[in-house]
Chains A and B, each alone.
Chain A
Amino acid sequence: MDAGLLVQMLIGALLGLSVYLPLYCGQLSLATPGFFAIGGTVAALLSTRVPAFAGTGATSPLPALLLEMALAGLLAGLLALAIGGTVLRLRGIYLAIATIALVEILRVFNLNLPFTGGALGIFGIPQPFDSTTGYAGFSLALLAVVCWLCARLEQLRLGRAMAAIRDDELAAASVGIDTARVKLTAFVLSALLAGLTGALAAHFLNSWNAKLGSFDASITTLAFVVFGGSRTWLGPVIGGLALTALPELLRPVGDLRLIVFGLVILLGPVLFPQGLITPQLLQRLGHGCSVVGQGFSGAGRRLRGRLSGVRRP
């Protein structure tokens, strides 16, 4: 397979996880592309305007990319923190519409601010990797880390509180869960993930413009999660990988490919109302998945062991 397509798929999976985080606690936020756009714009600006990040000519140092991703995630997270308190008081379809509005407002800003390059955007973003394969390896590592964190999150107190809010917010509040705080945490984590993914995508795409964070993107990323399933972290990952690959794999059918893509989005919810990947499915697959799970938690134990200097068996 083409490494470029693989990177796009991995970015799709990361964005799917960003939509999944608020949805895991029952909040339908479509703001992911807005934060993704912020991240991309931050990285594009830093690496083309600030000499310390730009490196020499067409290449830029890898630490600069990491720093840009951190800054982009931080900025997106701070914005989410600032608006989350008020926006998250809204429920259901109101929250969805408010977050669509947020994405569109950010898009208009991106189009009209004097330093973001207008409709054409920012070009010639330097490359931290020699080849697409480098991006693929880096994105794969990033996705693995994020998946591990999400899998851990589902086991943690925070993750269980999120699931409790999804199932019944009032009941969750009545057993002492600070629902506003948990929802805000999920929203900020989602923004952070979208922001740092945006910074990576800006380098990979080599140019950045306002179109990359639009309503279309809101829906596509939501489709990742609905298609894959929102009950476990694996769902949005599979959804993101599959639905990003689909239009490319459909290239042979030419002009029909977006129509077929539409058909998949139309029929997906009808045929798989829970999404492709459900906890029940994982249980049925039982053994195979528990091996994966142990692999993940084993890696975590080893990592913690190394961090604390103690090796456990």
Chain B
Amino acid sequence: MDADLIQLLLNGLSLGAVYALFALGYTLVFSVLGVINFAHGAVFTLGAYFTYLLIGGQVGANGLLSGLRLPFSLPFVLALPLAGLGSALVALLIERVAFRPLRQRGADSLLALISSLGAGVILVNLIQLLMGAESFAIPTGTLGALPVALSIGGARVRTVQVLLLAIAALLLVLLSVWLEGSRSGKALQAVSEDPVTAQLLGIDSDGMIRLAFGVSGFLAGVSGGLVGLSVSIAGPYFGISYGLKALGVLVLGGLGSVPGAVLGGLIIGLAEAFVPAEWSGWKDAVAYGFLFLILLLRPQGLLGRPLGTKV
């Protein structure tokens, strides 16, 4: 196979895997609450910054914490899951502040969309205030003994991308196994099917909603850390564009469908990778173009259930 083609495929797959992880975070919350958590992009950003700090990165010059660094530095394999846990805690806090009060009042789900966005605005600007607006790169030496580049089928590819793809694939498999095979995963599905009935059957609906937020925050944090490693952290707002494209992924695959999110992520990641360089300005339109097409042709998404109308 052509070396360039391998490179493009790998670019597309790793980008697609990140989109899929991102979209799964949306999916988990959407399936239990029926709303999009617009703070998800900010949690992703936060995961990247946590990772950067945990591996011993230094805060930039124009934040309040300017020049600060943690007194220790962890290897990347430890920093990434810890950053994921930190992000999960923040996601739980968002659930507590932006979602739960509205749910308890039985308010319109549209309102949670706004309040979650408020939470996102606060997080992004808090990061900017503390860490400054500059971009950070995670140093290449982070991966320890691993070589910087590998040779696959004659193509030299960056180890980081292979790693990113592997971790994302592992997480996707773990998530599916958990959802389909475990008691708590099935309970989560029951709540997404019908929260009241699930409650009557002895499932702690509120607990499951918290679980969905926690797992979704973890996924966002980890994918933020991975993207920070493979590309760079392009400032406090960098999660937002990923978050918007992941909406495209979500709709392409079918809202609420886990395999759909993975399929949608891979399709959009690959499609973006194959946009020729001279057209790179139009790359951002790919995800939205797909989104528009699928909504017109098959509104329930590739793998979603048909949208019924309830009378």
- Which A positions have Cβ atoms within 8 angstroms of B? 28, 86-87, 89-91, 93-94, 96-98, 100-102, 104-105, 108-109, 111-112, 170, 215, 219, 222-223, 226, 255-256, 258-259, 261-270, 273
Contacts and interface: CB of A to CB of B under 8 A. Distances in A.
A109 B244 CA distance: 17
B194 interface: no
Given A112-B282, A170-B309, A219-B38, A266 B102 contact: no
B126 A259 contact: yes
Given A265-B121, A269-B112, A105 B107 contact: no
A105 B118 contact: no
A269 B255 CA distance: 25
A244 B175 CA distance: 42
A105 B240 contact: no
A interface, over-half SS? helix
A97 B309 CA distance: 19
Contact of A222 (B34, B114, B128): B114
B111 A226 contact: yes
A255 to B, nearest CB: 5
Interface string B270-292: 00000000000110110011011
A108 B296 contact: no
Interface string B127-143: 01100000000000000
Nearest to A108: B285
Interface residues of B, number: 48
B125 A258 contact: yes
A223 B292 contact: no
B118 A262 contact: yes
11 contacts: A94-B299, A97-B295, A101-B248, A104-B288, A112-B282, A219-B38, A223-B114, A226-B110, A259-B121, A261-B121, A264-B118
A273 B102 contact: yes
Contacts of B281: 108, 111-112
Contact of A170 (B115, B248, B311): B311
Contacts of B75: none
B118 A259 contact: no
Contacts of A266: 97-98, 115, 118-119, 121-122
B14 to A, nearest CB: 23
A16 B257 CA distance: 34
Contacts of A101: 247-248, 288, 291-292, 295
A105 B285 CA distance: 5
Nearest to A269: B111
A93 B248 CA distance: 12
Nearest to A168: B311
B307 interface: yes
B160 interface: no
Contacts of B292: 98, 101-102, 105
